[in-house]
Amino acid sequence: MPGTMTAQPSTRILVVFGTRPEAIKLFPVIHALKADPRFECVVCISAQHRQMLDQVLEIAGIVPDHDLDVMQPDQTLDALTANLLTGLGKVMDAAQPDRVIVQGDTATAMAGALAAYYRKLPVDHVEAGLRSGNIYHPWPEEVNRKIIGSMASLHFAPTETSRNALVNENVDPARVHVTGNTVIDALHWVTAEIERQPSLAGGLAELEARFAGKRIIGVTSHRRENFGEGMEQIAAAIRRIAARSDTAVIFPVHLNPNVRKVMNERLSGLGNVALIEPLDYPHFARLLSLAEIMLTDSGGVQEEAPALGKPVLVMRETTERPEGVAAGTARLVGTSAERIVTEISTLLDDREAYEAMARAHNPFGDGQTSRRIVELLANEVRHQA
Ligand code: UD1
Ligand code: UDP
């Protein structure tokens, strides 16, 4: 009938993820897709993580359409990857998406991209182009993300540095978009939620009272390449730092048994150390605000801490996030106990050294990354129609 508008069918996007950091960095994209009538957003979790993933889903109000529940205690990379590939392939066959979104560099992201490629489905990569240049640091993430980068349709690079890394690998520059990192969207969202409802982050009150007047160091650690000697060195460093009477360490311990065993054996019972369960995102945001320094081998924490003006000491040899180091808000300190203790002591005892690092610096985005990604997706779909 002349003059009648026919509604365009919406584009079905399957968002695939499995671990805590993917959930944190994808919930803003899922919120934006679900609010947009141009898209039908289907959520598939592999549950490569269980409790730590469910914590994020609950806070963000996301109910998955598919849950593969693959997590096994202390899972090996090959068994995990095999389960992911077959499981995610079946979900894709059932859900019949038009496109697939993956984030970052986990086993789930890599297997999700591969399963989509096997079906000739376009894969869009959030947090594309991070590179350390060393395939064993971080392991196996550096290779996971290179594999995804070789198949992706749209590459959403957080910064110019990550964009350049892709272009240097001969990715078509027209397919790479600098969007910022969705972690900043997530941080803004959770901060607003806490302002609305302070009790969301009230669960640390007892620890805050116990450590009143002390200078708090927040710690996280979980990298596979740090298992064994690296974890022993990190624990030894924390023991020495916590021997200072003016300092307290709050350490939400990752559920990986390779982390927990060492930390429990070496650090439990110390007066100035709180080994606690993984925090949900509002409580972790609260820890970031309480801490004077963050000591971490995490990727996401390297992005969040500088955004909040907290110096971050990175217990790794290399980083795929050089922007924080270049700005002076992050420093690579490796995993030798001696070096970690020296670097922390400098920040605690030298006010100028501390102030030089404690500058709010946010090269990773302005909190509008998800909105940008959704517009780029809409543009892509329009051009294909
Ligand atoms: C994974 C990712 C890593 C990411 C990290 C974020 C891979 C290969 N690794 O590492 O890139 O930086 O997540 O945290 O994709 N566990 C639980 N409950 C949980 C989560 C983990 O019990 O909610 C334990 C299980 O024993 C599990 C083990 O931790 O087998 C390891 O989990 P896995 O996802 O294989 O590796 P991560 O070290 O968490
Ligand atoms: N995080 C959290 N609770 C914790 C520790 C970390 O919510 O107890 C969040 C943190 O804010 C960051 C993300 O988890 O956004 C980082 O996850 P992780 O360190 O496990 O993985 P990575 O970023 O190294 O891949």
pLDDT along the chain (385 residues), means of 10: 58 98 98 98 98 98 98 95 98 98 98 98 98 96 98 98 98 98 98 97 97 98 96 98 97 98 97 98 98 98 95 96 93 97 98 92 92 98 87
Which residue, by CA, sits nearest to atom 36 of ligand 1? 256
Active-site residue, 232 included:
no
* pLDDT of amino acid 316: 95
First to last CA, the chain: 22
The Cα–Cα gap between 282 and 266 comes to: 28
Q: For strand 293-296 and strand 215-220, is the pairing parallel, antiparallel, or unpaired?
A: parallel
Q: What is the DSSP string of 294-318?
A: EEE--SHHHHHHHHTT--EEE-SS-
The single residue of 99, 163, 254, 321 carrying the catalytic annotation is: 254
pTM, full prediction = 0.97
| Rounded alpha-carbon distances, angstroms, from residue 37 to 7, 31, 33 | 10, 12, 8
Ligand 1 atom with the smallest distance to the CA of 48 is 34
The single residue of 20, 66, 131, 222 carrying the catalytic annotation is: 222
- 3-state DSSP call for residue 256? coil
* pLDDT of amino acid 260: 98
Ligand 1 atom with the smallest distance to the CA of 108 is 15
The dihedral of CA 168, 183, 74, 286: what is its sign?
A: positive
* pLDDT of amino acid 2: 46
The single residue of 22, 105, 297, 323 carrying the catalytic annotation is: 105
| Rounded alpha-carbon distances, angstroms, from residue 253 to 219, 279, 334, 373 | 8, 9, 19, 33
Helices (H) and strands (E) in the chain, counts: 16, 13
* pLDDT of amino acid 360: 76
Q: Residues near ligand 2 with C-beta < 6 Å?
A: 20-21, 24, 183, 220, 222, 252, 278-279, 281, 284, 298-301, 304
Domains of the chain with CATH codes: 11-181+366-384 (3.40.50.2000), 203-358 (3.40.50.2000)
Q: For strand 330-332 and strand 99-103, is the pairing parallel, antiparallel, or unpaired?
A: unpaired
